[in-house]
Structure 1
């Protein structure tokens, strides 16, 4: 019975993510979401309380699962600091390319300034993964794997900002890259591995102590 409840909640969240990404917070209604999810309004309200509660639950589900993945990587004592960061980059790029719906939702809502309270909650949720990356960078500085004068904040901005520029400015990015970045086959087969290689080469040259560069 408990599994059935979890499956039902996940189904509602899947539908809500799609509708919110297409229509935005203001354009979507809980009645539309409940109708497409095949549940009644009472059930939706029981699980999530309100449209805002449902909206935040969509974010929390996506972010918390990735946070757990990052924490597991960060806590793996068998890996070097650089190997941890390289794996985080691989996992991050894999997730952002296959989750266009969620990325569209983030881009739409974080750029909105009229809902201060809601945006503050979204930002707080998104920051948990930033904090996990920062822990890995800070550990690398402490154990000598990374230079002690690195700009941690700008390194983090590089990791997340590269994706943001490509996704948020598709017309310009398509011209720069010579291919439509909205082409899902291109994203999966060409751009994903290209971003991984670029970000790891760039960050390794900047972060890794020259005594460890050949490792």
Structure 2
């Protein structure tokens, strides 16, 4: 019975995530979501309480799963700080490409300038994952792997900003890169490896002290 309840909740969240991505939070009604999910309104309200509660549940599911992954990377003392940054980039880009609908929802919520408790909860969940990258950067500086004058805030902005430009501005990125960046084959075979490679080369050059010594 418990598994059935979990499966039903996950199903509703999967559908709601797609509906929010297509219509935006404000344009998507609980009636539309329940209809698409094939459940009645009473069940949706029982599980999530409201449309706001449903959105928060979607963010909690996605961000907590990713947080567990990157916390494991950050706590691995057997690898260097640079290896942690490299694995963070891999994990983050994989997650972006595997959860395209959720990325659209994030973009929508971060651009509507929503205020209040809902906005605070969403921002807090996203920032927890951002701070995991900053922890790795601070560790690299303390270990003497990364340059002392590393601008950690700008590194974070670079990682998330490049993703935002490529994924959330598909018409511009398609013209810039010379192929349809929304085509599934292009995304998997061209864009994902290219984005990983670019970010790693850029960050390695900026972060590592050894690059200063080489110059």
TM (normalized to structure 2)?
A: 0.94
How far apart, in 2, do the equivalents of 1:101 and 1:211 lie? 38
The structural deviation recorded for 1:98 is 2.1
Q: Which residue of the partner structure matches residue 115 of structure 2? A: 116
Q: 1:213–1:137: structure 2 CA closer, same or farther, 3 Å change rule?
A: farther
CA contact (8 A) 2:205 2:211 kept: no
How far apart, in 2, do the equivalents of 1:26 and 1:173 lie? 27
Q: Which residue of the partner structure matches residue 60 of structure 2? A: 60
Q: Which residue of the partner structure matches residue 89 of structure 2? A: 89
Q: Which residue of the partner structure matches residue 2 of structure 2? A: 2
Q: Which residue of the partner structure matches residue 26 of structure 2? A: 26
* Moved beyond 6 Å, runs of 4+: 211-214
Q: Which residue of the partner structure matches residue 39 of structure 2? A: 39
Q: Which residue of the partner structure matches residue 51 of structure 1? A: 51
Could you tell me which runs of 5 or more consecutive residues in structure 2 were left unpaired when the two chains were aligned.
Answer: none
Q: 1:5–1:146: structure 2 CA closer, same or farther, 3 Å change rule?
A: same
CA contact (8 A) 1:15 1:33 kept: yes
Could you tell me which runs of 5 or more consecutive residues in structure 1 were left unpaired when the two chains were aligned.
Answer: none
How far apart, in 2, do the equivalents of 1:45 and 1:28 lie? 15
Structure 1 residues 29-69: Cα deviation after superposition (integer angstroms, max 9, x where no partner): 11221222222222211211111000111111111100110
CA contact (8 A) 1:110 1:122 kept: no
Q: Which residue of the partner structure matches residue 188 of structure 2? A: 188
CA contact (8 A) 1:145 1:212 kept: no
Q: Which residue of the partner structure matches residue 72 of structure 1? A: 72
Question: Which segment drifts farther, 97-106 or 200-209?
Answer: 97-106
How far apart, in 2, do the equivalents of 1:84 and 1:13 lie? 31
Question: Which segment drifts farther, 116-125 or 10-19?
Answer: 116-125
The structural deviation recorded for 1:174 is 1.4
TM (normalized to structure 1)?
A: 0.94
Q: 1:168–1:51: structure 2 CA closer, same or farther, 3 Å change rule?
A: same
CA contact (8 A) 1:85 1:136 kept: yes
Q: Secondary structure at the match of 1:116?
A: coil
Q: Secondary structure at the match of 1:10?
A: helix
Question: Which segment drifts farther, 83-92 or 118-127?
Answer: 118-127
Q: Secondary structure at the match of 2:26?
A: helix
CA RMSD of aligned residues (A): 1.7
